[in-house]
Structure 1
Amino acid sequence: MERRPFGRTDMTVSVLGFGGAEIGMEAMDVGQGEAAKLVNEALDLGMNVLDTAPSYDTSEELIGRAVSHRRQEYYLFGKCGEGRSVGLEYPDWDARNVRPSVERSLKRLRTDYLDLLLIHSCTEAVLRQGDLIDAVKRMKEAGLTRYIGYSGDSTDALYAIRTGVFDALQTSLNIADQEAISLTLGEAEERQMGVIAKRPVANVVWERSPDSPNYPRTYLDRLRKLDYPFMSRKPGTMLECAIRFTISVPQVSTAIIGTTDPKHLKDNVSCAAKGKLTATEMNEIRTRWQEVCEPAWAGMK
């Protein structure tokens, strides 16, 4: 699988990474055996980025049990920020949660360090207070994480970038969610930040049941209005175009995709292996977005 530099860090990351949210969701009912098979398969297919968070239910424990013995084969991206919503003592975004959160994550993941610790989608107002950023910086100084970053969108992400503190940005980016291209990615590139695309396949909204957990109806509504020409082509074209679009955005280092299905995992890798879209194909998608997008179409949190 293609590897790309990750901003100013020393990491070279796979163009697709494994997102750990779905395997941890209670509604998905993924057992340890299934999770172990899936995550090991991701590494075998060439992915070297595993992304998880305390708020992804059992994800950290599942990943730790599955692949901690292969720790030198992957970069581990974790998150912090949530407090009482994930069983810690203080409210969400309270800086006093940071170290307990990280230490708990390391224990669950069966490792003694993260490669990247991301503040998980707090607002600009919280960032401006400064104490949360300072607490995350101390995790880097203490060696509990090698690098730090921010995960979020829109003007919150723009403020985080402009602090100059963070090594990486994780933000929503896909065929139905392109605000970041014009708003934040240029400034992230200027500061040599690694860029992680989350939701790179728009949660595969065209294949999912509206009754499925966390169904992204916003993306469905947007895609109906965008009505890209490739949406009427043969099955599989949507997935291929979606993946190849996201990894074709110049600033993107890695795109994080979660799944509980080994077949879907292999399909994602096969699509990415076809490489970037042509300049003409990218221009068609970008032009259509610019023609149709509405002011309220901000990055999905």
Structure 2
Amino acid sequence: MHSAAHEPVLPRRTLGRSDVTVTALGFGAAALAGLFTPVDEDEATAALEAAWEVGIRYFDTAPHYGLGLSERRLGAVLRTKPRDTYTVSTKVGRLLLPRQHGGGEGDLGDDLAHGFAVPATHRRQWDFSGDGVRRSLEESLTRLGLDHVDLVLLHDPDDHEEQAFREAYPALEELRSQGVVGAIGAGMNQSRMLTRFVEDTDVDAVLCAGRYTLLEQTALGELLPAAAARGKSVIVGGVFNSGLLADPRADATYDYTAAPEPLVSRALRMQTVTEEHGVPLRAAALRFPFGHPAVASVLTGARSAAEVRDAAAQLDRAVPDGVWAALRGEGLLPPDVPVPGK
């Protein structure tokens, strides 16, 4: 029997008024499904096992990630762990429909047009109907090989706003009331519609990607104050802004495309400031969102065990108050943005 005393412990927070908890550092499982470049099975497994070893107990996935590959890889590892010790979120809104071989299609090609280096075995179909939500969740559970997920999020309903509120959201509320899922919400790369979810529905949490980082604090305008006022949780994804804050350089990516030069130079200036205080930019980027009380967890995507261990080590690193003061002094962080304190 393993002694629990040796297990690393990451702080846990509860999502909204639900019973679902997440660790401060979460594992975003898009990268291990071949985001932009392939990741082999062994690398993916090693990354997930490393996440477990450093104490991560919150894992986020979606059918969209690698056409189901992310869910299958995640489930294969999590099925070996005690189910009551970890939290899984997946997403609904895109159904995966098998492509037919033959019929002139020949080789199915890859899915890189959607960002994933995997064979294009399926096509995605938007579906924010109630039936679509239930079917999507059932299919996710089959891929994961789990009997339930803890948190279900509406995924990128940007162009389907009214259907998402009118049909998909009530279906999630029903699944929660039936005890099928513990918590519900939405996950997007924008803050406006997430604010509407927080204000107009009974979501427990929202996942906001890329809009509350050292480089960009759009979510501070309305989303974070609204969440704090209503006791709802925000999970922050894209904390490195697709790589720019992890390793700022001319060819870095931002929002999944080439980073504009002014942002690259700003990130480089930030790096100079943090390193003058002996703090890697990655550590400041991971720690920053926790300055706001509504933030429950920060998700980091990793494609290798080394990346996972690095993220855990950086989040564990002390960031002196002087770092935030210096960033403000250089005009790199607005004066009204909350920063982590003691």
TM-score by length of 1: 0.84
One of 229, 233, 246 as aligned partner of 1:190? 229
Deviation at 1:107, TM superposition (A): 0.9
The 5-angstrom pairing of residues 111-190 of structure 1 reads 111-123=146-158, 125-126=161-162, 129-152=165-188, 153-172=190-209, 173-190=212-229
Match of 2:298 in 1: 255
The 5-angstrom pairing of residues 215-230 of structure 1 reads 215-218=256-259, 221-225=262-266, 228-230=269-271
Distance across 2 between alignment mates of 1:7 and 1:154: 18
Distance across 1 between alignment mates of 2:269 and 2:280: 11
One of 82, 86, 89 as aligned partner of 1:77? 89
CA RMSD of aligned residues (A): 3.1
Deviation at 1:102, TM superposition (A): 0.2
The 5-angstrom pairing of residues 40-59 of structure 1 reads 40-57=49-66, 58-59=69-70
Change (3 A) 1:249 1:283: farther
1:61 and 2:61 are equivalent in the alignment: no
1:240 and 2:283 are equivalent in the alignment: yes
Deviations 1:63-108 (A, max 9, x none): 1112212122210011111236895896443433111110010111
Does 233-242 or 70-79 show the bigger shift? 233-242
One of 34, 46, 51 as aligned partner of 1:37? 46
Deviation at 1:150, TM superposition (A): 1.2
Does the 8 Å CA contact 2:133/2:171 hold for their aligned counterparts?
Answer: yes
Deviation at 1:219, TM superposition (A): 6.8
Higher Rg: 2
Does 14-23 or 90-99 show the bigger shift? 90-99
Deviations 1:203-254 (A, max 9, x none): 2223578498974434764342466443363797111111121233332110
Distance across 1 between alignment mates of 2:72 and 2:96: 19
One of 11, 17, 21 as aligned partner of 1:2? 11
Does 123-132 or 259-268 show the bigger shift? 123-132
The percentage of counterpart residues that share the same residue type is 23
Does 148-157 or 29-38 show the bigger shift? 29-38
Does the 8 Å CA contact 1:228/1:285 hold for their aligned counterparts?
Answer: no
Distance across 1 between alignment mates of 2:191 and 2:124: 29
Deviation at 1:279, TM superposition (A): 7.9
Change (3 A) 1:109 1:274: same
Does 97-106 or 232-241 show the bigger shift? 232-241
Match of 2:243 in 1: 204
Does 176-185 or 50-59 show the bigger shift? 176-185
Unaligned regions of 5+ residues in structure 1, if any?
Answer: 292-301
SS at match of 2:150: strand
Does the 8 Å CA contact 1:5/1:12 hold for their aligned counterparts?
Answer: yes
> Which has the larger helix fraction?
1
Match of 1:108 in 2: 143
